[in-house]
Every structure is written in C-alpha cells, then in structure tokens.
Amino acid sequence: MSKLYFKYGSMGSSKSAQALMCKFNYEQKGFTVFLLKPSIDTRKIVAGKAKVWSRIGIYSECIEFNKNDNLNDLLGKYNLYNNPKSIVIIDECQFLTKDQVNQLKNISLKFSVLCYGLLTNYKTELFEGSKRLVEIADSLSEIKSVCSCGKKANINALIIENEIITEGQDIVIGGDEKYNSMCYDCYIKKLKDQNSNRKN
C-alpha cells in the first residue's frame, strides 16, 4: 500500500545516503524511481547537473524543483503516472512548502513517497516542509546520529567563528563547514559558555 513517509535526522545522520540506497533497492526490484531535491540546495550541483550526494561519496542525478513548482504537474511531465511501478524520493525535504507537501500527500494515494530531511533549523524550530510532513505523513521515523559526547544528536547548531548562532534568517545553506550536530546538553552548555565569555 502506498504511503507518505518522513525520515528525519540531524546533520550528518546519513539521510542522503539512505535515500540513495533506497533508490538503488527499488531499482533492483524493477521500480522506476523519481529522485528529487529542491533547487535552494545549491551545494549539490556537479558539472551543471543537480545531484543528490552523500558525505560517504555516493551520488545520483536527480530532478530539481523550486518552491513555486507544483510537484503533481512536474512529476506528470516525467511520466510518473504512466508507470504503476513508480516510487518518489525527496532529499532535503525540509525545504518543501506546505502546498508541496500537500501535493506529495496526493501523489502518495497512488505511489509511495519517501521524504528525507531535517526536522528543525539551527534555531531549533520546525522547517515549513517538516512541520507539514509531521502533520500528515503516514509514517515518521528518526534516523539517529551521535553528538561528540556520545549522546543522540538532535540539534543542528550553526557555528560561525566558533560561536553558536541563534538568530538571523531561517534558512542558512551549508554543510560541515557551518553546522555541527549536537545533543541538547552540549548545545546548552556551549551557549552558556559563550555567553559567559562575552560577559568576561
């Protein structure tokens, strides 16, 4: 039975790797996989072509979309509805709009849709796409990763010049050079330490 899945995790939790392995597994079984990612993620352009890639080195070409695209119409142009053995996989799904998540829900009535992404931004607030997925996805599952202390990482800390940033625009694109996944305890401790250092 087709469903809308939301698989979320912090930065570096292997979300893209799992999306790519899922694509491979379905293709091995004869499915046609439509792999998509939002165009806002400009880090993943290689030789002028949009790709989903993982830190471990695996990648695949994908269909790129922007926030104004209707995903029903876009996937229709790629003949999604002409193949009953189709699967839709979305990487970086946190950047979906509310309307686009609603569109994916509609698609999931006929085809399984698997969404991989972050749950919250560096302010520890839900992304628009993630919020809507939590509200209407048929299946929610966490992809776990660890903090440097060994506890589960659930905070995507934006760090610039060795300081955690907590204010600014909601979306800041970046990877390991800007972000560090941390547990809540370490996050709060670092915030307290940097605030104490500022007073001194």
Residues linked to residue 59 through DSSP beta bridges, in sequence order:
53
Residue-wise over 86-102: b if at least 16 C-beta within 10 A, else e?
A: bbbbbbbbbbbbeebbe
Quick check: is 177 catalytic? no
- Selected catalytic residue, list 27, 61, 92, 128: 92
> Which amino acids are annotated catalytic?
92
